[in-house]
Amino acid sequence: MTITAAADGSALGNPGPAGWAWYIDDDHWAAGGWKHGTNNMGELKAVLELFRATNGVDDDLLVLCDSQYVINSVTSWMPGWKRRGWRKADGKPVLNVELLQELDEAIAGRRYRFEWVKGHVGHELNEAADERARAVATAFQRGAGPIPTGPGFGPVNGAPATVRAPAPEVPATAPSPSLFDLADGTAGGRSVTVELAADEWARLEQRARRAGMSPEDLLRDLAARG
């Protein structure tokens, strides 16, 4: 099965009030945004959140996108940026690097392809994503009214998607697991408790596998680096 989704961003003034959205159908979409952002930020965030939302499924993902910047970033430019320490060929820092790094993590191990679609020409899925991204940007611009966030991801076409085995969830009533201790060599060592949702744990496991570490060791390493 292939999940087909459109992803789009909108910034009023660019930069200005900004929104992002991904859209599969009226029952499966999500949106969000910021009080101040750029169109490219919205485009990247839409694709990032689409991959995050579908992280637990084992289906191919077809991303319809009207942003050549996003498509080229993921399919052409990113390997070179990473080799140069997230710098462009001219040595200047890559823009939107945090979103790009998060997207780099989110696409690891996924089966996907991008398809460019021309914006604002009546493409049904693209128009639906654009409408929702713009609605968020408009809500931030007006400073009033709820931000439309959407129902998120769930069963598609009346049936559940092919789901990978989920990470175990900690019951809400159970005490939070102690994942790592930060010992400082004294009797007053610090103990840190971390609560992770199932999708967060899945992303942590994915990142740990790429680093050749256990999730707990990865957390210790991240904590040690501050």
Strands 16-25 and 2-11 turn out to be antiparallel
What are the two backbone dihedrals, phi and then psi, of residue 159, each rounded to the nearest 5 degrees? -140, 150
Which one from 19, 28, 37, 43 is the annotated catalytic residue? 43
Residue in 163, 162, 170 with CA at minimum distance from that of residue 197:
170
The one catalytic residue in 32, 33, 37, 130 is 130
Catalytic site residue 60? Answer: no
181 flagged as catalytic: no
CA distance 6 to 219: 34
Q: How far is CA 56 from CA 39, 96, 115, in A?
A: 28, 26, 22
Gyration radius from the chain CA atoms: 19
Catalytic choice (37, 42, 66, 150)? 66
Identify the active-site residue in 9, 32, 33, 42. 9
Q: Which of 8, 33, 42, 49 is catalytic?
A: 8
Within a 10 A sphere around the Cβ of 219, how many other Cβ atoms?
Answer: 18
- Could you confirm whether 28 is annotated as catalytic? no
The CA-based diameter of the chain, rounded to the nearest angstrom, is 67
**33 belongs to the catalytic site:** no
Q: Which of 85, 91, 120, 184 is catalytic?
A: 120
Residue pair 27/78 in contact by the 8 Å Cβ criterion: no
Catalytic status, residue 120: yes
39-53 vs 124-142: helix crossing angle, rounded to 10: 120
Active site residues: 8-9, 43, 66, 120, 130
